[in-house]
Chain A
Amino acid sequence: MADHFIPDLADRVKDHAARKAALRIRGGGTKDFHGARLEGETLDVAGYAGIVAYEPRELVLTVKAGTRIADIERALAAEGQMLAFEPPGFGEAATIGGTVACNLSGPRRPFAGAVRDFVLGTRIVNGKGEDLSFGGRVIKNVAGYDVSRLMAGAFGTLGVLTEISFKVLPRPPAEATLAFEMDEAGMIESVNRWSGQPLPLSATSWEAGVLRLRLTGASSAVAAARAKLGGTEIPDGTAYWDGLREQRLAFFAGEGPLWRLSVAQTAAPIALGPPQLIEWGGGLRWVRGAIEAARAREAAEKARGHATLFRGGDRAAGVFHPLAPALAKIHRRLKDAFDPAGILNPGRMDNF
């Protein structure tokens, strides 16, 4: 099947484009909860799985988009390497294509970079059923527009991801997690101040008056930072960060709405009512509970960011932050440029 997968997929897209019939791209289905509408006949891409090329000494990995994240992480771990953006999966069946399309990055994001920072190349089938490759398998490449990175966060509305190349990194040898009792404003100040110092920080998370800080790097550097920062070392650090990345912590349990406020890292505490968990050095504020969309958006804008209804709640009112008119115009044209018939995941990004 694998040999025919892309040509068959391209034919199917062409056929749907001719009929203007929507396709709903689906990997593992673990992120059906995320984004606005799910419309159209299911286009299953989980079957297109496997590592195309992995050369640890090149720091480059190429995978088929249906490959499960767990399988990728296993292959990388065997060589002492990792995807440094710590891809959240939200379930066993999660595929790398879905995580890239939804632009999901884990706790390491402010210190190592986002998913798009590690994308080197993509192969896609656009809405016209054309099999196209952009970027490549090399670390540096500026030939043509950076369409590969554009695919990260496009929710499949510009093309079906079929293959993706990533820059991978060695897994640092040592890790430690420290805990500090701190109020919200003090935490925001501290994590930003520490981020401006040469410390091996790799994650921060604050909830209910406790800041957890992860240090990752050479053993000597981690030891030196631990001595410098103080705090209490907690033994189950790794489990905590996994739980945060996969949203398995108690904070995330239950079916209530979850708002994601991505704001300036230094923004002052945002009082909204429901409890918050704050990661990404102050830049990502999860709000657990029902709040009016307009209020969430206004608060996020004041904090120089944007608000997304990440999970649950009333999706009908739109889940993503509205775009400025000039940007919305360009978005509309880009959508038409890649998917003129408007058949790829229509409505998944609200208007696109």
Chain B
Amino acid sequence: MNATAKPAGNHERRAEVSSALARRLPAHAVLTAREDLFPYECDGLSAYRQTPLVAALPGTVEEAAEVLRVARETGTPVVARGSGTGLSGGALPLADGILLSMGKFNRILAIDPLARVARVQPGVRNVQITEAVAPLGLYYAPDPSSQIACSIGGNVAENAGGVHCLKYGLTVHNIQKVAALSIEGDALELGADALDAPGYDLLALMTGSEGLLALLTEVTVKLLPKPQVAQVVMASFTNVEAAVDAVAKVIGAGIVPAGLEMMDKMATAAVEDYVHAGYDLEAEAILLCESDGTPEEVAEEIAKITEVMREAGCTRFAVSGSEAERLKFWSGRKAAFPAVGRISPDYYCIDGSIPRGALAKVLRRIAELSKHYGLRCANVFHAGDGNLHPLILYDANVPGEFERTEEYAGNILELCIEVGGTITGEHGVGVEKIGQMCAQFNPAELAQFHAVKAAFDPPGLLNPGKAVPTLNRCAEYGAMRVQGGRLPHPDLPRF
């Protein structure tokens, strides 16, 4: 962490690369002064910071192509950046690299209501799309909690999800086509205006590729008809196991809720203090379960959900009676991160994903580890799809506390792998989870990933060092995890 900027010799590189850029871009589109570069030093994972060699802010696809050309001709790595809300350091600059901000690409280019698609530039913010098409009775389904800030390009690069993705899918399910520039200077069109495209599914491959394969310059998103009604059930449980069981029972009853979220007691206390929505502070776990569709469908589904929650032993129960109340019930869950940010100087968000059946077991273990490391942990999850977001509370100013936090987080991620899950459900690997990639994939699988990258980016200049670890790095990681043939913390029980 906290890598320091400016290794020796960087002055000349900076001069070389920035003058090459200045020859091809408008003057205001190339930044080199320390104070101008400051806003680009980190993304949402602010514990990691790095000043880039230079920042480029192209305003057109031609200018973006020029930036890539300079990168290619000078052998300089490039890190693309959307809104910088990423939580895994994907947009963390490189000391010897160009930071390419897509911030100026902020226009919605076309909306076709009959075809239910919108063509947008990658810097358009997620929520802007829904706002623009709402008058047509349409919306863009993926709704990450960061939707007022995050860019659609960043969403594609991370395959972002949201609270509605169990029913409506992730970014990959809601885009139809992208335009991109390869490092070699080719304009690529992946996907199609039709429901499929000839050849390999490169659109799927591009989605979630964290800026390592190509620079996205345009995205065609699918729009859905806005459901006529939505209602949310809020139910309290006196223990986490009962809440987990209720989640399984909802799915078991043949319901795919529009959203199914859980908060534990500490998370509930934090958000209640922040939004005052009337959450039950006595509950060990709160479930929010949403139904949407036609009025008939919703009435039928809410009746079923009610029955299931009661059977599962919920202690308090409420159904939203109005749109205002529905938004109030959701407000806390949507603001969980900032709310937790108020009760602790710093927090660290984890993104493991597990089979739901292992939820109770994993939560128990997270609590044990919390005691072991002496760090508090608030839990919010996308319970319906098994995506956990434990938030570890720490204070970066206490020496050693961040290191302990990272170790705690690493243990949780490995636990996710152990129970058959994954180290990241929606936030990406970035720089943050690069070590745990070595635990999730074997060397042959990692080598296959590197070969995929080389097919798109032969010189290896796009966001190098992120998302996929080198085999050397994994060797170091292995040595670190098993010091002297012992697992760390042999005193702790393992599954």
Residues of A within 8 A of B (CB): 55-60, 80, 103, 109-110, 113-114, 116-117, 126, 130-134, 136-147, 149-150, 152-154, 158, 169-171, 173, 189, 192-193, 195-200, 217-221, 223-225, 262-266, 280, 283-284, 304-306, 308, 320-324, 326-327, 329-331, 333-334, 336-338, 349
Contacts and interface: CB of A to CB of B under 8 A. Distances in A.
12 contacts: A114-B195, A132-B445, A139-B353, A144-B437, A153-B200, A153-B201, A200-B293, A200-B294, A320-B198, A327-B188, A337-B448, A349-B199
Contacts of B437: 143-144
Interface in B329-388: 353-357, 382, 385-387
B204 interface: yes
B296 A338 contact: no
A132 B60 CA distance: 40
A326 B182 CA distance: 9
Given A138-B354, A169-B256, A306 B194 contact: yes
Interface string B418-436: 0011111111110001000
A116 B204 contact: yes
Contacts of A171: 254
Given A136-B420, A196-B113, A144 B429 contact: yes
Interface stretch (B101-109, B223-231, B482-490): B223-231
B192 A57 contact: no
A154 B452 CA distance: 14
A56 B252 CA distance: 7
B263 interface: no
Most chain A CB within 10 A, of B138, B159, B195, B423, is at: B195
Nearest to B304: A218
Task: Please provide the 6 A-B residue pairs with the shortest distance between their CB atoms, ordered closest to farther.
Answer: A220-B296, A149-B204, A337-B451, A305-B194, A140-B425, A333-B455
Contacts of B426: 140, 142
B444 A140 contact: no
A334 B455 contact: yes
A253 B226 CA distance: 40
Contacts of B170: 140
Contacts of A305: 192-194
Most chain A CB within 10 A, of B136, B207, B208, is at: B208
Contact of A326 (B187, B356, B442, B453): B187
B467 interface: yes
B195 A142 contact: no
A60 B386 CA distance: 12
Nearest to B166: A139
B255 A139 contact: no
Contacts of A57: 248, 251-252, 356-357
Contact of A198 (B228, B354, B442): B228
Q: Chain B interface: which size bin?
A: 35 or more
A196 B194 contact: no
A223 B296 contact: yes
B428 A142 contact: yes
B422 A143 contact: yes
Most chain A CB within 10 A, of B137, B187, B227, B425, is at: B425
Given A57-B251, A198-B225, A330-B456, A136 B421 contact: yes
Nearest to B173: A117
Most chain B CB within 10 A, of A56, A146, A197, A266, is at: A146
A143 B423 contact: yes
A130 B424 CA distance: 25
B228 A142 contact: no
Nearest to B199: A323
B445 A140 contact: no
B60 to A, nearest CB: 20
Most chain B CB within 10 A, of A80, A265, A330, A333, is at: A330
Contact of A221 (B115, B182, B296): B296
Most chain B CB within 10 A, of A131, A138, A169, A349, is at: A138
A218 B292 CA distance: 12
B452 A334 contact: yes
A142 B454 contact: no
B208 A145 contact: yes
B456 to A, nearest CB: 6
Most chain A CB within 10 A, of B197, B458, B468, is at: B197
B228 A133 contact: no
B112 interface: yes
Nearest to A119: B204
Nearest to B441: A144
Given A264-B194, A337-B452, 20 more contacts: A59-B251, A130-B448, A138-B353, A139-B353, A139-B386, A140-B426, A143-B429, A144-B468, A145-B208, A153-B201, A154-B200, A189-B114, A197-B137, A220-B296, A284-B195, A305-B194, A306-B192, A326-B186, A327-B189, A334-B455
A145 B205 contact: yes
A326 B198 contact: no
Given A196-B116, A330-B456, A113 B198 contact: no
A337 B112 CA distance: 38
B209 interface: yes
Given A138-B355, A158-B200, A262-B196, A337 B454 contact: yes
Contacts of B252: 56-57
B169 interface: yes
Interface string B87-119: 000000000000000000000000011111000
Contacts of A265: 115, 194-195
Given A55-B355, A117-B173, A217 B192 contact: no
Contacts of B444: 130-132
